[in-house]
Structures are given as structure tokens and as C-alpha cells.
């Protein structure tokens, strides 16, 4: 049902549709009194108690957060249209695109750009986790990219529709059980209800139905950064369903039954995650990928199956990202790069080791920053060139090798000057002799 033209709550006139999902539709709207443009998310299935409860939970979670990297929710209300109840959520209107669109148009993205995006999402998660709110659905479609000032990749985290409130004392989220009459056929213990989220971005403990904490957002952000870097997912789809149905815990259950000890029970609970494969290597996904080794290690740690092996918090992940960024700048050849900065060559070897070639120079950082900041009319496409011939590092290595080979066989400068002077004298004498003979 299209509600364009309707006025909700006697305050918000819906102007046009901006997007539509399974349960809600987002409209561009304006306040009828002050004319302010806003975005209104309308839930048309308000009769469904569970759906209405999640919608209200989204409003509560988002309204508690005031952060520059989280969308600002300003109002919530209920109304009725043509006898049908509905609920609506009023948010700030954003001009831009989500990272799913950016990935489709520009991807894979350069690693320095992904690192900058990851730091902003980390700051949003810090603000949410400080309020005991676990987002549970970090993915490209829920991270919106806008132009703010000179920043073309300013990120806003959206959609707290499946967010959970963690216990203030334990920091964990305990799932709601299903109704008492929903025991399985074998009469076994009832499991929690189905989890809402996006397969591929959901950590194993979130899929398995047990309790979880803020580290599910750490895992999801790791998947997001991996996806932006490679345009591929780090794990095969079969792993997701194995983790979700608990089939990987069979060996752990057997061990627990045989020994009756606590270690066996722990193995049963974590069997699916402990036996899962490692993430697909980034350099196999993109053979010519240039990425800082420090940043690659940060992403892979966030993707760990065991929550205890991931970064302990969003603050710890942000610190790791900043450390990886600082390490790449320390490895930069900027002070001795006359090819791009007009400086003089210091007496150091020009060739770089293969390890150094994977680190990004300050020159490349500056070029990426200029490309991102030079647009004043809107979001700019900055699709990278991953071909070997288009690699900046490959070009610089080739130039360094040619310079070194040329200097190796070149004579000394004083010898060149002496030879040139002798040639000039001989030429002058020969010209004078020839002129005398002709006259």
C-alpha cells in the first residue's frame, strides 16, 4: 500500500517512497508546520505483535544513541490508515548511498579506504555497546555513506531493527525461549526462537541459538571489511548452516557423554566453531591485492570463530586499526620519493623488499585522500586499478630497477667532462685545418 500524500500523526506528510523492505517502507517526508525534511519508516504490519515489538525496540535503541556515525531518530508514533493500524519512525534524512551500492559500483575498495570506513563503524559500535546495545546486523546495506564537509566517505550506521539489549551486569544477551508447547519430537530441551539477521555476517554463537555478547558485532564488522576488500565472503555458505543447526557439535556431544566432564560439555557447545575452516585467503581472492600486513591481521582476528580469539571490544578493534594505520605510515618511503614529491635521492638502496611492497606509501595515501576529497558536488567513484600494470608499487619498482641498472654501467662524471672537452678541442682543430686548406 502506497501512502504517498498521507499525513501521519497530523505532523508528517509523506512525499515519496525511498525504499521498501519486507516489513516496512521508508518515505521522504516533511513536517507540516516547520517544513523540515525527514525520513519516515512506516511499519504496515502493526497488527503482528512480534513485528510491532521489534519495531518499537528499534525506536528505543536508536533514540538512546546520540553519535555522529549513527543515524539520528527523532520521533515515534502510531496511526491508522483505512482502518489498518501502523507505526512509524522518524529519522534524519540522508543523501548518499549505502556501502552495498558503493561495493557494487566501485568494489573492491582500496585498503586504506576500507580502514577509514572500519574506524568510523567502530566508533558507532563503541557508542552502542556503551549503552549495552548490540546491533546484530552490521552489513554493507546498513552502513550509509554520505558527503560531509570534505569527507566523501562519512559513514552512518542504520537499522537497529534486530538490535538486542545486553544485561548490564554480565554484558550478555540471553535469547527468548520459544513457547512451552513447542518442544521437539524427542522431548528434548526447547531451543531459542529463530535469530534475525543476515547469514554470512552472523557469528557462530549468534546462529547457534545460545547467549552472545557485543563480539558478534566485531565479527560482522570483520566480514564487512573483508567483503569491501575482496568483494567476496570469507567463509563458504555451507559453514553458515552447519553452525546454525549445531551439526558441528556432534563430536563434542560424544566426548561429553563418554567422559561426563565439563570439558566435554564445552566441546559440545563450541564444536561447530572449533572445527570450522579458516577464512578464504584474501590474496587468493584477489592475487594483486595490495594491503598492509598489519591491517590484514586485524581483519582476520575479527573473523575468528571463537569469541575469545576476536578483539575484546570495539575500542580494542579501533585501537588495532589505528595501530595498523600508523605502522603503514612508518613504513612509508615518502622522505625519499623524488618521483612524486620533487625531493632529492638520499644515499639509500632504491630497491624494496617484497614485504615492503605490500605496505602503502604516504604518496598513495595522499592520492587516495585527494581523490576522495576533490569532489564538491556529491559522492565520487574511486574504483581502484588492481591490474599489475596499474599498480603504483610495480611502477616504482620498475623505475628504481631501471635507474639502478643505468647507474651501474655509467662512467664517472669527471671522466665524461674530460672526454667531452677533448672531443671539442679535436673538432675545433680539424675545422680550422680544413678551412685553411680550402682558402
Residues designated catalytic: 137
User: Quick count: other Cβ atoms within 10 Å of Cβ 433?
Assistant: 10
Burial 287-326 (b: 16+ CB within 10 A, else e): eebbbbebbbebbbbbbbbebeebbebbeebbebbeebbe
C-alpha cell at 43: 511499519
User: CA nearest 386: which of 299, 293, 294, 290?
Assistant: 290
Cα within 13 Å of Cα(184), Cβ side = 7
Grid coordinates in use for 189? 530441551
Phi first, then psi, for residue 172 (nearest 5°) are -110, 160
Q: Does the bond joining 425 to the residue before it have cis omega, within 30 degrees of 0?
A: no
In the numeric block, the cell 574511486 is attached to 382
Q: Among 386, 300, 332, which residue's Cα sits nearest to residue 110? A: 386
CB 117 within 8 A of CB 103: no
d(CA 435, CA 431): 6
Amino acid at each position: 500500500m502506497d501512502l504517498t500524500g498521507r499525513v501521519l500523526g497530523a505532523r508528517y506528510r509523506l512525499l515519496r517512497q525511498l525504499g521498501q523492505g519486507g516489513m516496512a517502507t521508508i518515505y521522504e517526508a516533511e513536517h507540516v508546520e516547520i517544513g523540515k525534511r525527514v525520513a519516515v519508516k512506516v511499519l504496515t504490519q502493526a497488527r503482528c505483535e512480534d513485528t510491532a515489538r521489534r519495531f518499537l525496540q528499534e525506536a528505543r535503541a536508536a533514540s538512546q544513541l546520540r553519535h555522529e556515525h549513527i543515524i539520528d531518530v527523532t520521533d515515534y508514533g502510531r496511526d491508522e490508515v483505512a482502518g489498518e493500524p501502523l507505526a512509524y519512525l522518524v529519522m534524519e534524512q540522508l543523501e548518499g548511498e549505502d556501502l552495498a551500492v558503493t561495493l557494487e559500483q566501485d568494489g573492491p575498495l582500496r585498503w586504506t579506504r576500507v580502514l577509514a570506513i572500519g574506524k568510523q563503524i567502530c566508533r558507532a559500535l563503541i557508542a552502542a555497546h556503551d549503552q549495552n546495545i548490540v546491533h546484530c546486523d552490521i552489513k554493507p546495506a546498513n552502513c550509509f555513506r554520505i558527503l560531509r564537509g570534505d569527507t566523501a566517505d562519512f559513514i552512518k550506521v542504520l537499522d537497529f531493527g534486530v538490535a538486542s539489549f545486553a544485561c548490564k551486569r554480565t554484558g550478555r544477551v540471553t535469547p527468548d525461549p520459544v513457547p512451552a508447547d513447542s518442544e521437539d519430537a524427542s522431548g528434548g530441551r526447547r531451543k531459542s526462537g529463530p535469530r534475525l539477521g543476515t547469514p554470512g555476517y552472523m557469528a557462530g554463537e549468534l546462529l547457534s541459538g545460545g547467549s552472545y555478547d557485543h563480539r558478534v558485532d566485531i565479527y560482522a564488522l570483520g566480514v564487512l571489511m573483508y567483503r569491501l576488500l575482496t568483494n567476496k565472503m570469507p567463509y563458504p555458505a555451507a559453514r553458515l548452516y552447519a553452525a546454525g543447526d549445531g551439526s558441528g557439535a556432534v563430536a563434542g556431544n560424544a566426548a561429553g557423554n563418554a567422559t561426563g566432564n565439563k570439558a566435554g560439555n564445552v566441546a559440545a557447545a563450541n564444536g561447530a566453531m572449533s572445527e570450522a575452516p579458516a577464512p578464504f585467503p584474501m590474496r587468493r581472492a584477489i592475487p594483486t591485492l595490495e594491503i598492509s600486513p598489519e591491517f590484514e591481521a586485524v581483519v582476520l582476528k575479527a573473523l575468528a570463530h571463537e569469541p575469545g580469539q576476536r578483539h575484546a571490544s570495539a575500542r580494542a578493534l579501533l585501537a588495532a586499526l589505528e595501530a595498523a594505520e600508523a605502522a603503514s605510515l612508518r613504513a612509508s618511503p615518502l622522505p625519499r620519493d623524488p618521483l612524486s614529491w620533487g625531493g632529492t635521492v638520499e644515499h639509500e638502496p632504491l630497491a624494496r623488499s617484497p614485504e615492503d611492497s605490500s605496505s602503502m606509501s604516504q604518496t598513495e595515501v595522499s592520492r587516495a585522500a585527494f581523490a576522495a576529497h576533490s569532489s564538491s558536488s556529491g559522492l565520487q567513484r574511486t574504483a581502484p586499478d588492481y591490474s599489475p600494470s596499474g599498480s603504483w608499487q610495480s611502477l616504482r619498482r620498475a623505475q628504481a630497477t631501471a635507474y639502478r641498472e643505468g647507474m651501474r654501467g655509467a662512467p664517472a662524471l669527471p671522466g665524461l667532462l674530460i672526454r667531452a672537452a677533448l672531443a671539442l678541442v679535436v673538432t675545433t682543430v680539424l675545422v680550422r685545418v680544413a678551412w685553411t686548406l680550402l682558402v
